[in-house]
Amino acid sequence: MPLIYESIFYSENAHIKERLSPTTIEYIRRLKQHVQNINIYFYGSITNFTHFKNSSDVDCCIVYPDEYTKDKLIQFVTEDSIQFHIKRIKVIQLKISCPEYKDEFYDVYCLYFDNGDKIDFTLVGDNIGPILEKRHDNQILFLILLYIVKFLYYHANIISKDIFVRLKRMVFGIKSFFSKNTTTILHKTNMIFSDSSSYYS
């Protein structure tokens, strides 16, 4: 289940904070200062044993109350946070489907930093929907499979990046099959930062 950002400063979640790089902590702190009426939740490997420090991405949900806040949030991510030396931003528009529920639509902003850090922000209006919440409810067998694939690539260094991507996609495909979830990429855009003050699509 997602873990709210503020809780990482409590003693019971101190291990989560230790997994985050100083850049990630400072970036999220500045984001919260700039756009105050949002809630940020961690999910994915940062919240469980499949996280590999200095290798795994940081996955977050940002829940915003209205379009004005969303616009302010996107402006910070794409323009105002340039001092963090972000080399690339990938924007993905997704549709997530499940037979029992109405389709859910999300924008995902993937930030790639010069120092190797990567943060994925899923932007969610008002509340996290039931399909997205189900996607975050990972069963232990799925987590074990994911850990093995990551261990072989990040720690043992015995598989190539291409094989790692394929195996990881296969594991997520198995999970989606059994949970009856399907994800459709509606649109994908790359913004490459050419220097410290501008970017182009």
* Per-domain residue ranges of the chain: 3-136+181-195
pLDDT, tens digit, 9 for 90 and up, residues 22-77: 999 999 999 999 998 999 999 989 999 999 988 999 999 999 999 999 999 999 99
Query: Position of tokens 């930062």?
Result: 193
Using 50, 70 and 90 to split pLDDT, how confident is the model at 200?
Answer: very low
Task: State if pTM tops 0.75.
Answer: yes
* Cβ–Cβ under 8 Å, residues 91 and 191: yes
Q: Is the pLDDT of residue 163 over 80?
A: yes
Give me Rg for the CA atoms of the chain.
17
CATH code for the structural domain at 3-136+181-195: 3.30.460.10
State pLDDT tens for residues 88-127: 999 999 999 999 899 999 999 999 999 999 999 999 998 8
